Chain A
């Protein structure tokens, strides 16, 4: 019970995550699974796979939580987990919206002209 040595994240409303490596592994595999359904040439798929694979490799190699936080350089490990959850929900929504298609409608020619 005292394995996680009574630490806090220091952030309000964000509980300490026990076994963060496992959670991140599950989340990243789910994200990669969702990304497989996007067409291969979409920029979103390319860049997100790059980011997720980088972070996944770091998580697989580094077992110490503190060093992992420093290597990822993206705040606390709980914030990284939260970010991965957000990325997963975003990937699912991208499947519906399909933003890689060409422009939906051109604006009228004077719309973005400034000064008028």
Chain B
């Protein structure tokens, strides 16, 4: 069986995506709505804090809850890491995804001033991928062992690691 297509929700998400893209043309590079009715905003990395604050504070877009903060490693690209923020609006019961890009050496603005929940998520992204977050209150390893070298979730890190255990 196939999930039935919800055209109404799709149209609403497209309209909202165009609304946000009209208000923030300085940072938003692309807006897309997947076939499963998920809205994604593709951002320039300078615009993380403006876009996240806008989505949190604006009356038409009260995305007060940061559901997830992850990274995706695509080694063939120039900017290999794609940072993904998943936000939830409790007032309007809708979700949105915000994506940015960076490479291994460029730091990215921390989302902690906007959403306190981003603290441990950013620590995890730093530990697992090596993406440095500027202005983070406490950026240190969170999941790997104390003397662990390397960033395990990168695609060039071997499955059973470099050290025999």
- B residues in contact (CB < 8 Å) with A: 19, 22-30, 42, 44, 46-47, 50, 53-54, 56-60, 62, 74, 76-79, 91, 99, 101
B74 touches A116 (CB 8 A): yes
Name the CB-closest residue of A to B46.
A104
With A86-B56, A108-B78: A98-B29 Cβ-Cβ less than 8 Å = no
Cross-chain contact A47 with B25 (CB below 8 angstroms): no
Q: Does A26 contact B (CB under 8 A)?
A: no
Most chain B CB within 10 A, of A74, A90, A110, is at A90
Given contacts A44-B23, A51-B59, whether A106 and B54 have CB atoms under 8 Å apart is no
The one of A75, A93, A97, A116 that contacts B76, using a Cβ cutoff of 8 Å:
A116
Knowing A110-B77, A111-B79, A111-B101, the reply to whether A51 touches B27 (Cβ < 8 A) is no
A83 contacts B by Cβ under 8 Å: yes
The yes or no answer to A10 lying at the interface (CB within 8 A) is no
Rounded to whole angstroms, the CA-CA distance of A33 and B74 in the bound complex is 46
A83 proximity list for chain B (CB < 8 A): 59, 62
| Contact residue among A87, A89, A100, A116 (Cβ-Cβ distance under 8 Å from B59) | A87
**From residue B31, how far is it (CB to closest CB) to chain A in Å?**
11
CA distance A90 to B56 in the complex (A): 9
Selected contact of A103 from candidates B29, B58, B78, B79, CB within 8 Å: B29
CB distance from A113 to the nearest CB of B (A): 9
In the complex with contacts A93-B53, A111-B78, A43-B59 CB distance below 8 A: no
B30 contact from A97, A102, A112, Cβ within 8 A? A112
Return the contact of B29 from the options A75, A107, A110 (Cβ within 8 A). A107
Do B44 and A107 touch across chains, with their CB atoms under 8 A apart? yes
Q: How far is A110 from B29 in the complex, measured between Cα atoms in Å? A: 13
Whether A104 and B79, one on each chain, are in contact in the complex, defined by CB atoms closer than 8 angstroms, is no
Please, how many angstroms separate the alpha-carbon atoms of A8 and B77 in the complex? Answer: 55
B23/A87 in contact, CB under 8 A: no
**How distant is the Cα of A111 from the Cα of B45 in the complex, in angstroms?**
13
Q: Which of A98, A99, A105 contacts B54 (CB under 8 A)?
A: A99
Between A and B, 7 residue pairs with Cβ closer than 8 Å are: A47-B23, A48-B59, A87-B59, A100-B23, A105-B46, A116-B74, A116-B76
| A74-B77 CB under 8 A given contacts A86-B57, A107-B42 | no
A105 pairs with B23, CB closer than 8 A: no
Q: In the assembled complex, how far is the CB of residue B147 from the closest CB belonging to chain A, in whole angstroms?
A: 34
